[in-house]
Structure 1
Amino acid sequence: MAKRAQNKKLAEAKKNKKDEFYTQLSDIERELKHYRKHFKGKVVYCNCDDPRISNFFHYFSYNFEKLGLKKLITTCYKSQNMDLFSRNESEKAIMLEYNGDKNRNNIPDVDEIGVHQLKGDGDFRSEECIKILKQADIVVTNPPFSLFREYVSQLIEHDKKFIIVGHQNAIKYKEIFPLIRDNRLWLGFGFKGGAAHFINKHYEDYATATDRKEGMIRVSGVHWFTNLDINKRHEDLILYKKYTPKEYPKYENFDAINVDKTKEIPYDYAGMMGVPITFMDKYNPDQFEIIGVGIANAGLEIGVLPYKPEHKKYRKEVQKRGAVDGDLYMIVNGEVTVPYTRIIIKNKKI
């Protein structure tokens, strides 16, 4: 019940464009330590960051010299105040620019940070912000979940490197999945425990987990997305289970076997396999090939056949559980079974 309530609130956030979930400094530090070699001599742009509470700006400004950055730029949507230490609202959007420590106290002092009013509203899609984007080498931020498709499309269009926060459900988006399949985007190291705590202004945290935090919302399935190479994506997933037809049934409407858990991918099966979406966290392009995604409303055709006539009577029942024509399904113990989203893969090393 608690999870359903939380999902409802997140859906409301997406619908109402209130998905202002600010990332914790500890989460940023934990992830970005794996990318240090990429930052030397680079211009970093955080284009969805409230300067009053942006932990991305904090991380990069305090680690400017350690990372060897060339420049740090931050922009945000309007209604932010030019006073860095104020929470009063202003109708003007601003840009922060930091070029490093000048007085050698290893602290980004206020007088070392350039604060500029923008002419527009600071929307990342505005011509003004796109002009700034073109100057950047790497974009690092937590964009609005409701605009994730559009946000990533812009980064790809301008050929930018990036490390951004998003929900794992984005993997299924028709605008995002082809980028993953074609190795133009992949998952980073991830959040501790597979969930993130965000500072939020709008919603009560309905999570029942013991690690809930006051003034924050706990969101499961949140991940880092990047196109910067990291060691993790070249580590083989250790496979230990042998294929048996009984344990790995085939789909009725697609020539692939079903695998319920990523860790149980059989080491000796050469054909196509449907694996959970969580597989993407272990994906190594040297070990596996991604064929497609087995979900009808993703708009990505992989040749899934419709229900067989003798199984159509089950359609209404499975539709109640959120399935639609075009989803993968199996017959297990004489009953129609519709698994959750499946990524279709093949083992390249067999």
Structure 2
Amino acid sequence: MTADAASAPIDKAEGPVPARGPARGARSGSRTAYLRYAAGKAGGAAVSLLAVLVTSFFLFRLIPGDPVKYMTGGRQVSAEQLAAYRREFGLDLPLWEQFTDYCQKALTGDLGTSYQFRAPVVDKITEALPNTLVLTGTAFVLYTALGIFLGTRSAWRHGRLGDRLNTGLALTLYSLPSFWLGLLLIIVFAVGTGPIPGLFPTGGMESGGREGFAYAVDVAHHLVLPVVTLVAIEYGQTLLVTRSALLDEMGGDYLTTARAKGLRDDLVRRRHAVPNALLPTVTLIFVNLGRTVAGVILVETVFSWPGLGGLFYQALSVPDLPLVQGLFFVFAATVIVMNTLADLIYPLLDPRVGR
């Protein structure tokens, strides 16, 4: 090869193009694989929602009780009046016709009319939803932060006394029934027992007659016990998953390399180990969010919180079939949607998933 040939400039039209071609193809293939993965998850979620829609109609018709008799308030009414009530709410139609009518309306966003409130089910759900979001949102933020913090601390000091106490307490609280813990907190901290005075309200969301900042303080005061109940029950799962994931990462060679470079142990944990260990926890966060909204029924009932859970319990006692069906669909849809979001986000954090 001559000196002139060796010093000749590289032709940009011929050099870089072959090198960039495979990279572009790989990115395009990766994007296509993710879209196929996302479409499959979205299709599965849609099928699940349809199954919930069908299940909610037939499941709650097994509940004993006559909603028409409830609507009469126990008064003596004639057979003609009972028949008129049944015609008004479509209860005189054959079951298959009630089912097809329910499905057609539900697919357009109409979940029917509540028997006891004589109002659209969607309106009742919309009215109670903000109250549930205040309760579950506050508890969700607190138990997620607490679980991640204690989980990382326990893993980094695994086998020590603090780790054993943390995991033991988390497992104990996670196994407790939420309604039992809620009643216990009411007895001790709301009613008062022994030297402990009643510090918090026994139930409800507000005392009434307050506005502005005083209203916010009053709501926060009522929030304490139900939020503590949810946090105590739920933080343990986040702690255990975070702890387990971080223990798996602690043997990695990259942590040994980071320490060899002179990084402090605290920096190694925060900058290297924890971000990688949080991948399973991110999935759990979305799953927990849906599960908390759906599982708040008992806590809201115990504390008389005017949210979706308390409304569901009230509807079951009638039974108010349209309202029960609508709430059941909302609870199930929340879990399905959050699980689907977790499935869609995880491949973005870990490209090995969904390939």
- Asked whether the two chains share a fold, i.e. TM above 0.5, the reply is no
How high is the TM-score relative to the length of structure 1? 0.23
Higher-Rg structure is 2
Q: Which has the higher contact order (CA 8 A, sep 6+)?
A: 2
Structure with the largest fraction of strand: 1
